[in-house]
Amino acid sequence: MDTLIIDGLSFALPLFIMAIGGIYSERAGITNLALEGLQGFGAFFGALWAVVFSHFFNIPIQKLFYFALLLAMVGGMLFSILHALLCIKFKANQVISGVVINILSMALTVFLTTQINSLVFGALSDKFQIGTSVRFTVPVLSKIPVLGAAFKNLYPFEIVILVIAIIAAYVLNKTRFGLRLRACGDNPHSVDAAGVEVFRVQFKAVLISGALSGLGGISYAYSISTNFSPSIYMGYGYLAIAALIFGNWKILPTLGACLLFGFARSGGYILGQMLEMPSTFSDLIMTLPYVLTLLLLIFFSKSNRPPRALGEIYDKGKR
Amino acid sequence: MSEKNMDKRKGNTFNRVILKLLGNEKWQHLTIPIFLIFLSFIAASIIILSLGKNPLGAFYNLLQGAGILPKPSYAGYKSMLTDFLSLLNYMTPMIFASLAVAIALKGGLFNIGVSGQMLLAGFFATILIGYSELNWVIAKPLVLLIGIIAGGILGGLIGFLKYKFNINEVVSSIMFNYIIQYVLSFFIHSYYIDPVSRQSKYINDAARLTLVNVELINLKMDISIGFVIAIILAIVLKQFFDKSRIGFEIKAVGANSKGAKYAGINVGKTMILTMVLSGIFSGLAGVTYYLGYFASIQPKTLPSVGFDGIAVALLGNTNPYGIIGASFIISIIDRGSTYMSSMAGVRKEIASVITGMILLFSACSAYIQYRIRAKKDSLAFMAGREAEE
């Protein structure tokens, strides 16, 4: 039971922060399929600087944890500029731009990782080893029966994600910036009429989504693998998009969707162990989150309403 | 003449050259992609130069590796022709996959599940025909048929879920991608695994859509049957979209589903039909990939062709002929990269970076077109004013 909650949370929360990034971008009217590439590039960027710093300044790599998180956000944001430019300045098809960015991100990071490994460290490897992150347990709260497991063996990034998620939810729903952002996705003309630059708001939204995706990506690099490698492109970004559409572009329901993915995944693993099934059956169990999502979507999709101006770049002259 | 004026003049000649090259709207669908590919190679050259290598030599090796230019030496039974034929063999699934994406895009849908549909079609064709002892006369057409059916049904299901339950096709295709990948991995691991290669067992040659090691004029070549079918179907598809009523209806729904509805088109039915058609082409991509280019399936891996197809379809401007050309170029870069890295010492991974940049630039092609038109208008305006003076 404990592992169910612990593993479920550590999978769900990075997904959640990526999905929030997606919500920011999509509520502002910019379709963002690039989450996958952004999280990968963010993880690459964070891991790269962590490795470089620990190599040249002899700092143990575990100490660079928060530094890596921060730089992953910077990296994701830098790469998301490309998506913003393509969609907003060059008026490219947003879906296509997203896919192109995913392809480019994967190609570029794999190329740079092998290149930097051979040039700087003299090693033939497509990975940056960043070590595992330390885990901690909250003293009193973890004693609560059942639910206490949520406070056991936490990764530090889970706390970071939660804090940022709360701030993000507040900004999106309660501030003037959030209101304008949401209006950009539903009725950009009203934003323009209020004297606010639509493109500027959208640009910021995409950058935020880049930063949050980068954070999600490096969290996976720290938890699921202990390195940055091409295996980071496992489709987490696409899963986050599924979660946010499932969550109807709202933050709280999206959290629910992410938790569903996380718990279905960890639950499946535990189920496989309990029934002592041969390891090949684990593949069948892995489908659980996805089958569940499809079934739930059949019941809940009717009321799904994407932002009205999603995917359409704002055109002043259009009515 | 003042310096400022000189600068202006210089800028103008540059503009004029660009305009001269790209300005003709009749040829823009060709000139702009070529210009973009040129740009990407310049960008790649800068990367290669900064690594201290010779970019022109590297590109030359790229073409040699892909079988476009002759290599200095060949192994026995090999020549430029065999390299070129394997290029066509490699290219076949890419054409089908990109056509599948293009069909969906024309209908206003986004088929990101091409990979999953490919895997499903390839799997069924492999276990039903690939492991049977059927004669090739029956086996090969049956492989194609199964690919068409499996892909079409899955595509249709995605369309149906969108029509009936309002499930976004992107989400459902992604879910299906995962489900198919894991479920088929289970079946392959349980029943069809080859313990040495860790892949599914090899299929019989009778069912393969590529004739392997055909000995002709003292060469051993791989001849892809699928390639011929791909070219024929691309031509048929072009006619279908240009001339037929259903093709027009698909485009109408894609352009403006509300308008199509007012015009009396059954939007739901057309949507499902679009996805069935797209799935059929994905299925064909699957069988030409798993029972043509390869002869076995690697479990738990989605073919990356399915995702590359999205980008190739875009580079080809969703036009079937354009897609053939785009697949050709991307395939050359993919296929030539191994030879290039061994000869020029440039990392193989640079190839996918070049591809990525071509796609990145091509995503902006509409913008370039728009800028060229604007520039042309302003030049015409200036010329008119000068004439007046």
- Report the distance separating Cα A26 and Cα A22, nearest Å: 6
Q: Which residue of A has its CA nearest to B188?
A: A280
Bridge partners, A228 (sequence order): A128
Which of B32, B106, B166, B184 would you mutate first to test chain A, the one with the most A CBs within 10 A?
B166
Q: Which helix (H) or strand (E) holds B253?
A: helix B245-255
pLDDT value for A91: 85
**DSSP class of residue B201?**
P
Residue B98 and residue B313 in contact, taking contact as beta carbons nearer than 8 Å: yes
Which chain B residues have a beta carbon less than 8 Å from that of A104?
353, 356-357, 359-360
State how far the alpha carbon of B244 is from the alpha carbons of B240, B241, B251, B321, in Å: 5, 6, 11, 18
pLDDT value for A211: 95
pLDDT value for A319: 57
Burial B141-154 (b: 16+ CB within 10 A, else e): ebbbebbbbbbbbb
- Among candidates B23, B27, B29, B26, which has minimal Cα distance to B318? B29
Query: pTM for the complete prediction?
Result: 0.86
Contact B183 A284 (CB under 8 A): yes
The Cα of B295 is separated from the nearest Cα of chain A by a number of Å equal to 23
Q: Hey, what CATH topology would domain B28-372 get?
A: ABC transporter involved in vitamin B12 uptake, BtuC (1.10.3470)
Q: Which long-range contacts (CB under 8 A, 24 or more apart) does B66-72 make?
A: B66/B331, B66/B332, B66/B333, B66/B335, B66/B336, B66/B339, B67/B335, B68/B332, B68/B336, B71/B339
How large is the greatest C-alpha to C-alpha distance in chain B, in angstroms? 84
Chain A, window 278-297: residues with a beta carbon less than 8 angstroms from a chain B beta carbon:
280-281, 283-284, 286-287, 290-291, 293-294, 297
Q: Which helix (H) or strand (E) holds B220?
A: strand B219-224
Contact A287 B314 (CB under 8 A): no
> Tokens standing for B277?
């058609």
Q: Which helix (H) or strand (E) holds B219?
A: strand B219-224
* CB proximity A239 to B under 8 Å: yes
Residue A172 and residue A251 in contact, taking contact as beta carbons nearer than 8 Å: yes
Listed in sequence order, the DSSP H helices in chain A are: 2-27, 35-56, 65-84, 94-120, 156-174, 176-186, 188-193, 198-223, 236-246, 251-274, 281-286, 288-300
Q: By three-state DSSP, how is residue A35 classified?
A: helix
Q: B355 CB contacts (<8 Å, ≥6 apart)?
A: A103, A107, B308, B311, B330, B333, B334
Q: Which helix (H) or strand (E) holds B200?
A: strand B199-200
pLDDT value for B123: 95
Angle between helices A236-246 and A2-27 (to 10 degrees): 80
Q: Please, what are the domains in chain A?
A: 2-138+147-303 (1.10.3470)
The Cα of B40 is separated from the nearest Cα of chain A by a number of Å equal to 12
Contact B356 A86 (CB under 8 A): no
The Cα of B206 is separated from the nearest Cα of chain A by a number of Å equal to 30
Residues of chain B with pLDDT under 70: 1-12, 14, 23
Contact A298 B189 (CB under 8 A): no
Residue B70 and residue B84 in contact, taking contact as beta carbons nearer than 8 Å: no
- Report the distance separating Cα B85 and Cα B150, nearest Å: 28
Residue A47 and residue A221 in contact, taking contact as beta carbons nearer than 8 Å: yes
pLDDT value for B1: 43
- Report the distance separating Cα B114 and Cα B303, nearest Å: 9
State how far the alpha carbon of A230 is from the alpha carbons of A44, B24, B178, B299, in Å: 9, 43, 18, 18
In degrees rounded to 5, what are phi and psi of residue B335? -70, -35
- Among candidates A127, A229, A232, A107, which has minimal Cα distance to B350? A107
Residue A25 and residue A32 in contact, taking contact as beta carbons nearer than 8 Å: yes
Q: How many CB atoms lie within 10 A of CB A283?
A: 21
A93, A235, A281 ranked by CB distance to B363: nearest: A93
* CB proximity B101 to A under 8 Å: no
Q: B42 CB contacts (<8 Å, ≥6 apart)?
A: none
* CB proximity B366 to A under 8 Å: yes
State how far the alpha carbon of B41 is from the alpha carbons of A83, B56, B127, B246, B332, in Å: 21, 10, 43, 40, 13
Contact A92 B310 (CB under 8 A): no
Which of B94, B171, B354 would you mutate first to test chain A, the one with the most A CBs within 10 A?
B171
Residue with tokens 């992410």: A258
Contact B186 A281 (CB under 8 A): yes
Contact A93 B314 (CB under 8 A): yes
pLDDT tens digits for chain A (319 residues)? 777 888 888 889 999 999 999 999 999 999 888 999 999 999 999 999 988 888 888 777 777 888 889 999 999 999 999 999 999 888 888 888 888 898 889 889 988 888 888 888 777 777 888 777 777 777 777 777 777 777 777 888 888 999 999 999 999 999 999 999 999 988 888 888 998 889 999 999 999 999 999 999 999 888 877 788 888 888 888 889 888 888 889 999 999 999 988 888 888 888 777 777 777 777 787 788 788 888 888 887 777 778 888 877 787 777 5
* Domains in chain B: boundaries: 28-372
**DSSP class of residue B44?**
H
Contact A293 B175 (CB under 8 A): yes
pLDDT value for A316: 76
Angle between helices B365-388 and B3-22 (to 10 degrees): 120
Q: Which residue of A has its CA nearest to B160?
A: A298
- Among candidates A271, A222, A301, A284, which has minimal Cα distance to A13? A222
- Report the distance separating Cα A123 and Cα B186, nearest Å: 36
